[in-house]
C-alpha cells in the first residue's frame, strides 16, 4: 500500500463491504462486473445486504423516464442508511450518472460521487477523491478506453460477456443511449479473441458478444466486419454456445446471415428490435429501414436457421402513431411470430428529437394499445412453445428453481425451462445432495408449455 494509506482515517481502512445494484441492459450488467472486480481488487468484499455495505453503487438506466425516477427514490432509501453508518459511501453509476452529472449531487445531498459509463475504469479514483473530501463527478468519454478484462468479476460461472462495440452512433429519435454511452467504438479483433480464449480457459462455455449495435462492429483501421468476427469467435475451440446482442436490422448483411447459418454453436436465437410495423413511424424514429425490409431479413434468417427464435423490441404510442400504424405493428407480430417481444410505451427523453415531432399519443391510449399487443402476443408465444412439447432439448443450468428440488435453465434458443434433475445425473456428480451445477449442460424432454417458460423432465439416460 502507498504512503497515502497513512493519511487515511482509521475507520476507512475498515471499510470492507460493497453492494452493487444493477438496472438496465447487458452493457450495465457487464459494467457492474467491472466495478465489482475493481472493488474486490481493492480488498472489499461483496454483500447482498445494502445495510451491511460501506460502499453502495447504483448502476442506473435512463432509457425510459420511469427507470430514472426509480433511481432517485432508491438513492433516497440508501442515504437513510447513512444515519446508522456515517462512513457509508454512495456512488451513482450508469446512464443516469452520465446524463445528470452535477445535477445528481444537488438533487441528492448525501450522494458521494457520480461515475458515468465511459469512466467505469476510474472507480478507484472516484473513491480516492471522495476519501480526500471531494464529491467527484466523472462523466464523458475519454479517447482511450481501458478494458482490463482479467479483473472483471464474472457473475455467472458459465456465461462470459464480451463487449465488442461501445456507444452508439445511430441517433434513433427516441433514444437517449447515444448521449449516455457516447460515440460508437469497436474493439480490436485480437483483443476480443484474447478475452474469449481467456474465458474458455477459465471454463466459461457460453460467450455473449455485446454492443448497442453489435453487428455494426468493424475492425479499427481494417477491413473485417462482424461476419468475420462471428466466424473467428465461433471457431474458437471451447466456445459451446455463442450469442450476440443487440443486432441492428439495417446492419445485418448477407455474409452475417450466412455465418449465422453455418456454425452450430451460434445459438439459434436472435434479438432484432423492429420498434414498429409502420413505415411512416419507422421513418420518424430514424431507423433507416422499412417494415418490408425487416420482414425480408427475418425470412432469410428463418430460412438459414430453421427453428430460430427471433425476439424483438416494440415502442407503442410513438408521437404520431395512428390506430392504422399500430394495426400494422400487430400485423407484423402476427406474421413473424416472435418467440419473445419486449414492448414499452414511448417515453420522451431529454436531448432527443422525438419530443419535438408533435402528434403525441395520450398515455391512456398508449397503455391500452400495449395491452392489446400483449393480448395478441401471448397466445403466439404459447403456441410456439407448445410445438416443443415432446421434444428433447439441451439446457444450460442457470440456477435453482422456484420450488425445492427444481432447477431452472435455458435452451440454446434462450427459452426458460423448469425441470427436476435426473437423480442418476445428480448422484453421478458424486453425492445425491449435490444438484447439477449452474453452467452444466443437460438434456430434458419438454412436457408442458406456457407463454413464458417450459416445464420439462430429464431424459432417462442410456448407458
Is 129 a binder of ligand F3S (CB under 6 A)? no
The interface with ligand F3S within residues 135-174 (CB under 6 A) comprises 168, 170-172
Residues that bind ligand SAH (CB under 6 A): 25, 63-64, 174-175, 177, 212-213, 246, 273, 275, 313, 315, 344, 346-347, 349
Is 178 a binder of ligand F3S (CB under 6 A)? yes
Q: Choosing among ligand SAH, ligand F3S, none, which partner's interface includes residue 37 (Cβ < 5 to 8 Å by kind)?
A: none
Is 180 a binder of ligand F3S (CB under 6 A)? no
Q: Choosing among ligand F3S, ligand SAH, none, which partner's interface includes residue 178 (Cβ < 5 to 8 Å by kind)?
A: ligand F3S
Q: Residue for cell digits 445535477? A: 103
Is 245 a binder of ligand F3S (CB under 6 A)? no
The interface with ligand F3S within residues 266-285 (CB under 6 A) comprises none
Among 33, 163, 213, 411, binds ligand F3S (CB under 6 A): 213
Among 19, 248, 252, 346, binds ligand F3S (CB under 6 A): 248
Q: Choosing among ligand F3S, ligand SAH, none, which partner's interface includes residue 349 (Cβ < 5 to 8 Å by kind)?
A: ligand SAH
Residue placing its CB nearer to ligand F3S in the complex, 108 or 172: 172
Shortest gap between Cβ of 268 and ligand F3S (angstroms)? Answer: 23
Residue placing its CB nearer to ligand F3S in the complex, 172 or 396: 172
Shortest gap between Cβ of 212 and ligand F3S (angstroms)? Answer: 4
Is 212 a binder of ligand F3S (CB under 6 A)? yes
Cell of 389: 412439447
Residue placing its CB nearer to ligand SAH in the complex, 163 or 212: 212
Among 111, 177, 274, 341, binds ligand F3S (CB under 6 A): 177
Residues at the interface with ligand F3S (CB under 6 A): 168, 170-172, 175, 177-178, 212-213, 248
Amino acid at each position: 500500500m502507498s504512503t497515502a494509506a497513512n493519511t487515511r482515517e482509521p475507520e476507512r481502512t475498515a471499510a470492507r463491504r460493497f453492494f452493487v445494484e444493477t438496472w438496465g441492459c447487458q452493457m450495465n450488467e457487464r459494467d457492474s462486473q467491472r466495478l465489482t472486480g475493481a472493488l474486490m481488487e481493492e480488498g472489499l468484499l461483496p454483500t447482498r445486504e445494502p445495510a451491511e455495505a460501506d460502499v453502495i453503487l447504483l448502476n442506473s438506466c435512463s432509457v425510459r423516464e420511469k427507470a430514472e425516477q426509480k433511481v432517485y427514490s432508491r438513492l433516497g432509501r440508501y442515504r437513510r442508511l447513512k444515519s446508522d453508518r456515517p462512513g457509508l459511501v454512495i456512488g451513482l453509476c450508469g446512464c443516469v450518472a452520465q446524463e445528470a452529472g452535477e445535477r445528481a449531487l444537488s438533487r441528492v445531498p448525501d450522494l458521494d460521487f457520480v461515475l458515468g459509463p465511459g469512466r467505469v475504469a476510474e472507480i478507484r479514483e472516484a473513491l480516492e477523491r471522495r476519501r480526500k473530501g471531494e464529491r467527484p463527478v466523472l462523466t464523458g468519454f475519454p479517447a482511450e478506453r481501458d478494458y482490463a478484462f482479467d479483473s472483471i468479476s464474472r457473475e455467472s460461472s458459465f456465461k462470459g460477456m464480451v463487449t465488442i462495440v461501445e456507444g452508439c452512433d445511430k441517433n434513433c429519435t427516441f433514444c437517449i443511449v447515444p448521449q449516455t454511452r457516447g460515440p460508437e467504438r469497436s474493439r480490436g479483433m485480437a483483443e476480443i479473441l484474447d478475452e474469449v480464449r481467456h474465458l474458455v480457459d477459465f471454463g466459461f462455455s457460453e460467450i455473449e458478444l455485446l454492443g448497442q449495435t453489435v453487428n455494426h462492429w468493424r475492425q479499427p483501421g481494417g477491413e473485417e466486419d462482424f461476419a468475420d468476427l462471428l466466424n473467428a469467435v465461433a471457431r474458437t475451440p471451447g466456445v459451446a454456445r455463442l450469442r450476440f446482442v443487440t443486432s441492428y436490422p439495417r446492419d445485418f448483411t448477407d455474409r452475417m446471415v450466412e455465418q449465422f447459418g453455418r456454425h452450430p454453436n451460434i445459438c439459434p436465437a436472435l434479438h432484432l428490435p423492429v420498434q414498429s410495423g409502420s413505415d411512416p413511424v419507422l421513418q420518424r424514429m430514424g431507423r433507416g429501414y422499412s417494415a418490408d425490409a425487416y420482414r425480408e431479413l427475418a425470412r432469410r434468417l428463418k430460412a438459414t436457421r430453421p427453428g430460430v427464435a427471433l425476439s424483438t423490441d416494440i415502442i407503442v404510442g410513438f408521437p404520431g402513431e395512428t390506430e392504422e400504424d399500430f394495426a400494422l405493428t400487430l400485423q407484423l407480430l402476427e406474421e413473424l411470430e416472435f418467440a419473445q417481444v419486449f414492448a414499452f410505451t414511448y417515453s420522451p427523453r431529454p436531448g432527443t428529437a422525438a419530443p419535438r415531432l408533435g402528434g403525441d399519443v395520450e398515455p391512456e391510449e398508449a397503455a391500452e394499445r400495449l395491452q392489446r399487443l400483449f393480448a395478441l402476443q401471448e397466445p403466439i408465444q404459447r403456441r410456439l412453445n407448445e410445438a416443443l412439447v415432446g421434444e428433447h432439448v439441451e439446457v444450460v443450468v442457470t440456477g435453482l428453481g422456484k420450488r425445492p428440488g427444481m432447477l431452472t435453465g435455458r435452451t440454446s434458443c434462450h427459452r426458460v425451462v423448469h425441470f427436476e434433475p435426473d437423480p442418476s445425473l445428480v448422484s453421478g456428480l458424486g453425492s445425491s445432495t449435490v444438484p447439477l451445477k449452474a453452467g452444466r449442460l443437460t438434456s430434458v424432454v419438454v412436457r408442458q408449455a406456457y407463454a413464458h417458460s417450459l416445464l420439462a423432465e430429464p431424459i432417462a439416460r442410456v448407458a
